[in-house]
Amino acid sequence: MKNFNLNPFKGFTEIFKDTNDFNEKSIVGFIAFGVMVAFAMADLITGYVGEDLVINEIIYDSFKWIVISVFAIGGGEKIFKKE
């Protein structure tokens, strides 16, 4: 018989521990990139309909810098990793 986990948040809390299999920086970068793609798709759709989509430049730039910094840090870690 399989052992079922009755606590649905147990797996979620595992990602916040120091020893886990997830790269939190990559997860945050992927989510921020997904938000930027959603902004772009919404802008294309509203432009096709003939409406003007107003996106606050500070919000978009914040997501842009999150994506740039997260993937730059991840790349730097791969290049300069200690063995």
Q: Tell me what pLDDT residue 70 has.
A: 87
Rounded Cα distance, 37 and 54, in Å? 15
In a domain, 8, yes or no: no
* Domain extent for 58: 22-79
Percent of residues, the chain, with pLDDT higher than 70? 75
At residue 9 the predicted structure's pLDDT band, cuts being 50, 70 and 90, is: low
Instruction: Establish if 12 belongs to a structural domain.
Output: no
Domain count, the chain: 1
- The pLDDT of residue 45 is 93
Q: Answer yes or no: is pLDDT of 18 > 90.
A: no
Q: Which residues have a Cβ under 8 Å from the Cβ of 66 and sit 6 or more positions away?
A: 28, 29, 32
When pLDDT is cut at 50, 70 and 90, the band that residue 60 belongs to is confident
Tell me the H-state helices in 1-83.
Answer: 10-14, 24-49, 57-79
Please, which pLDDT band fits residue 1 given cuts at 50, 70 and 90?
Answer: very low
